[in-house]
Structure 1
Amino acid sequence: MAIILNIETATKNCSVSLANDGITIACKELATAHFSHAEKLHVFITELLEENNIQYAHLEAVAISQGPGSYTGLRIGVSSAKGLCYALNIPLIAIDTLQLLAQQITIESGSILPMIDARRREVFSSIYDPNYNQIRATQAEIIDENSYQEINETIHLVGDGAGKFKDTLTDPKFVFHDTVVYPSANEMSSLSFEKFQNSEFVDVAYFEPFYLKDFLLVK
């Protein structure tokens, strides 16, 4: 039995889940316009443990959403995860934030394009196939009407960055999944357990979030 605490703070969504052998036991999250990470993160962690009769000593690992995303949100999440790992002497697992966002939808064909708002007309994005394999590297890009013209298949857009471009990406190949806005710790459970089984850990002392840009404070 591997109980893993998953933390996702890369966007406006402050999200925490507890998982047992890759299955989510419980999840708490809150998305607010002005962020709530500093106020809510440790409250959510404490509540999840108490409500599920799990002690800190029962945790086998902590998984963190590594970015890209909000500079401040990532710093808060990573600092908290590192502190728990140091105190409990357990490993730290890092999960790609855009992969988490992509895994909130299921498609049979085409591509998944998760987008995280990076202010103005810029987004953090990547492209995944229906099996969630990354087929284009993560990048910060400015979107216009000529974006993704080289892709000749259905493109499924998810995330808070996608909604900004409904009037720009008007080709019928673009499908917007409006109900998927933020990455969630709920989708981290299976990914963190797989990495735990394969001992894919990051160095607690030297790990840094994947900011992608030198500094970004999402507003």
Structure 2
Amino acid sequence: MSYILSIETSTAICSVAIHNEGKLIANSDLYLEKSHSNSLTPLIEQLLHHCDLQMRDLNAIAVSSGPGSYTGLRIGLSTAKGLCYALEIPLISISSLDSMTTQVLNFHKGDNSIYIPMLDARRMEVFYKVSDEDLVDVEKMSNLILNENSFNNHLNKYKRIFLFGNGAEKAWELLKDQSEKFIWIDKVNPSAQFYGEMALKKFEKEQFEDLAYFEPNYGKEFYSPKSKKKSFLDLNR
């Protein structure tokens, strides 16, 4: 048996799950803004308790590789790394975008379709990728400023183009009149419960991350605005 704990913190939703041989045993999603730092560890402890498991029973930990919230990803990764180091088990990374596509594929698969998960990057920008029904990249993860022509290059190749994620609504408003091939699916978010098969495949192939050097793909460079407060040095100039 291989028990894998999955952690997803790339958005405002704090999500954890436990899979055994890729099959979901239990999951918990907390829809509460800015709760990751205080809630993640208790969620993990509660989930293990409900599954009658101990930390030592875990064989690996899967964590979001991004894109998404800088702070959320940092909290999730630091927690995952700390557990992996203490338990001497491997770290597996999973794309937040792939976790959304996996959940959509449970209900909308085949028929010459492509899948475009999007995470909001503010204003008209999104983080996105394009995948086929086998989760093979058609376009690799990137950031994009949306316009009326976004993804029109796929219209002649595919019968259906699914748009989903918290950045997809603003894409839908621009694209819904371009073609009936565009289909918007609401309320699809990254969730650890959909990590199972992807994490198991990486576990079996020993596709592990380096605990010392692995960093998430934030989608773009993190920017921290300069504080307007005067520092001690400024006040003494």
TM score, norm. by length of structure 1: 0.95
**What is the letter of the counterpart of residue 161 of structure 2?**
I
Structure 2 matches for 1:95-110, cutoff 5 A? 95-106=94-105, 107-108=109-110, 109-110=112-113
Aligned partners of 2:166 and 2:187 also within 8 Å: no
Contact 1:71–1:216, Cα closer than 8 Å, also in 2? no
The whole-number CA distance in structure 2 between the counterparts of 1:90 and 1:140 is 33
Write the distance in 2 (CA, Å) between the matches of 1:176 and 1:212. Answer: 23
**Local SS of the residue matching 2:154:** coil
Q: Which of 202, 213, 220 is the equivalent residue of 1:213?
A: 220
Asked if the contact 1:126–1:137 (Cα under 8 Å) also holds between the matched residues in 2, the reply is: yes
Q: Equivalences for 1:157-168 in 2 at 5 Å?
A: 157-168=163-174
| Aligned-partner Cα distance in 2 for 1:140–1:27 | 30
Structure-1 residue corresponding to 2:68: 69
Q: Does 1:80 align with 2:79?
A: yes
Which of the pair has the greater relative contact order for Cα pairs under 8 Å at 6+ separation? 1
In the TM superposition, what whole-angstrom CA distance separates every residue of 1:14-34 from its partner, at most 9, and x where no partner exists?
A: 1000111111100001223x3
Closer, same or farther: CA 138–216 of 1 in aligned 2, 3 Å = farther
> 3-state SS of the aligned residue for 2:134?
coil
SS class of match (1:40)? helix
Instruction: Structure 1: give runs of 5+ residues left out of the alignment.
Output: none
Matches within 5 A, 1:118-157: 118-152=121-155, 153=158, 154-157=160-163
- TM-score w.r.t. the length of structure 2 is 0.88
- Aligned pair count reads 215
How far apart are residue 35 of structure 1 and its match?
Answer: 2.8
Query: 1:28-80: per-residue Cα shift (whole Å, max 9, x none)?
Result: 01223x33211211111000011111000101111101101100000000000
The answer to whether the 8 Å contact 2:163/2:172 transfers is no
Between the aligned residues of both structures, percent identity stands at: 43
Instruction: Give structure 2 stretches of 5+ with no counterpart.
Output: 225-237
Q: Deviations over 1:184-209 (max 9, x none)?
A: 10110111111111111010111111
C-alpha separation between the residues in 1 aligned to 2:75 and 2:147? 32
Alignment of 1:159-198 (within 5 A): 159-170=165-176, 171=178, 172-180=180-188, 182-198=189-205
Report the more deviating stretch, 34-43 or 76-85.
34-43
SS in 2 for 1:150: helix
Give, in whole Å, the separation in 1 of the partners of 2:172 and 2:162.
Answer: 12
For 1:93-128, what per-residue CA distance to the aligned partner results, in whole angstroms no more than 9, with x for missing partners?
A: 011111111111122121100000111110000000
Report which of the two structures shows the higher radius of gyration computed on alpha carbons: 2
CA drift of 1:216 comes to 6.1
101-110 or 17-26, which deviates more? 101-110
Letter in structure 2 aligned against 1:193: L
**Match of residue 24 from structure 1:** 24
Q: What residue number does 2:8 align with?
A: 8
